Amino acid sequence: MNELGDWMSVNSEAIHATLPTPFRSDPAYASVTQRPGKVYMHLHSVPKSFQLRGLQSAVKNARLLSEKSADLPLKQEVDSVTGLRSISVDIPDSSRSGLLPVLALEIDGLAKVSSEIVQQPDGTVLLPASAAEIRSSGVIGCGERRLEDRTTDAQSSAVRVSSVGAVVNWLSPDTSLAWDFVMMRSGNYQVRIVSTGLHHSNPWAGGHKIRVQIGDSVLAGTMQLDETVDDVSARYYTQAASILGDVSINHAGLQRLTLYADEIQSNDGVGLAVMSVVLIACD
């Protein structure tokens, strides 16, 4: 509790009276809040160079809230073809420790962001369940999170995204998830499916047979525990990454990824509790 109190004494402006993230997909290693004039990156892990694409507002300066007097080295550029803005912020080794550092980006007004999920400068594409289009028995919905205690009886059995960002009630192959996103470059990409045991006490369980389709490329496999997710987001809900394989994306621009389930294990009613699909550049 003392550690949390110390953290709040330094970073409270990134929590109190803030607005939710403006992005459809937050960076892979950060959660985001905002207020007029500021975007806050709550860093689950602290890279030497923080990179972000899709924040269309010009950034005036960047600093860690724990070191308010020190502006960090900042670069930003706008892609001449897509008009997407990219920023990079160098973070010194001396500032890369501590509990959940917060990087504050100063802008004018509320953040302007890309309306699409976009490939990040490190080549990664993060497709969260909360941004998915959910197709279930011919019904199309979206993955927008709903608070569990506000669902109706009908919603409680429907395939949806929970308040922790996981798909719940995906127990039938009749359901699929789909995302549209913008690739900045073609190439080969590793496909990872991140899923969870859903409840605090549940261990992770897999065994689901799934397919991922991007354009004409299809990958199929059985979900197994290839890596345990070890960051702040997985502290209370066990998460695991299942590596499905590599897929070739032949051109930049707008893409669609669809996740199908050919066979789902019940796993004590948890089913296929997907958190995200992640594409990682192989080269």
C-alpha span between 137 and 29 (Å, rounded): 34
Of 163, 167, 97, 105, nearest to 132 by C-alpha is 167
Are the beta carbons of 57 and 108 closer than 8 angstroms? Answer: yes
State residue 39's pLDDT score: 98
Phi-psi region of 157 (alpha: psi -120 to 50; beta: other; left: phi over 0): alpha
Q: Low-confidence residues of the chain, pLDDT below 50?
A: 145-154
State residue 149's pLDDT score: 39
- Alpha-helical runs (H) found in the chain: 2-11, 153-157
In this structure, what token pair is assigned to residue 232? 């702040």
State residue 179's pLDDT score: 98
C-alpha span between 174 and 61 (Å, rounded): 48
Q: Within 10 Å of residue 262's Cβ, how many Cβ atoms?
A: 11
Are the beta carbons of 111 and 57 closer than 8 angstroms? Answer: yes
State residue 202's pLDDT score: 82
Backbone angles phi, psi at 9, to 5 degrees: -65, -25
Are the beta carbons of 264 and 272 closer than 8 angstroms? Answer: yes
Of 95, 99, 97, nearest to 4 by C-alpha is 99
State residue 151's pLDDT score: 44
Are the beta carbons of 132 and 177 closer than 8 angstroms? Answer: yes
188-229 pLDDT tens trace: 999 999 999 987 778 899 999 999 999 999 999 999 999 998
Burial class (CB in 10 A: 0-12, 13-18, 19+), 98: middle
State residue 96's pLDDT score: 66
In this structure, what token pair is assigned to residue 37? 């004039």
State residue 147's pLDDT score: 38
State residue 152's pLDDT score: 46
CA distance readout (Å), 22 to 152, 249, 279: 27, 28, 21
Q: Within 10 Å of residue 91's Cβ, how many Cβ atoms?
A: 19
Alpha carbon 172 to chain centroid, angstroms: 24
pTM of structure: 0.90
Three-state SS at 241: strand
Query: How many C-alpha atoms does 29 have within 13 Å on its Cβ side?
Result: 18
| Best CATH choice for the domain 125-281 from the list 2.60.120.260, 2.60.40.1930, 2.40.37.20, 2.30.110.10 | 2.60.120.260
CA distance readout (Å), 125 to 33, 34, 49, 264: 20, 22, 18, 25
Alpha carbon 3 to chain centroid, angstroms: 26
Count the residues in the chain: 283
Alpha carbon 165 to chain centroid, angstroms: 9
Fold of 2-115: Immunoglobulin-like (2.60.40)
- Tell me the domain boundaries of the chain: 2-115, 125-281
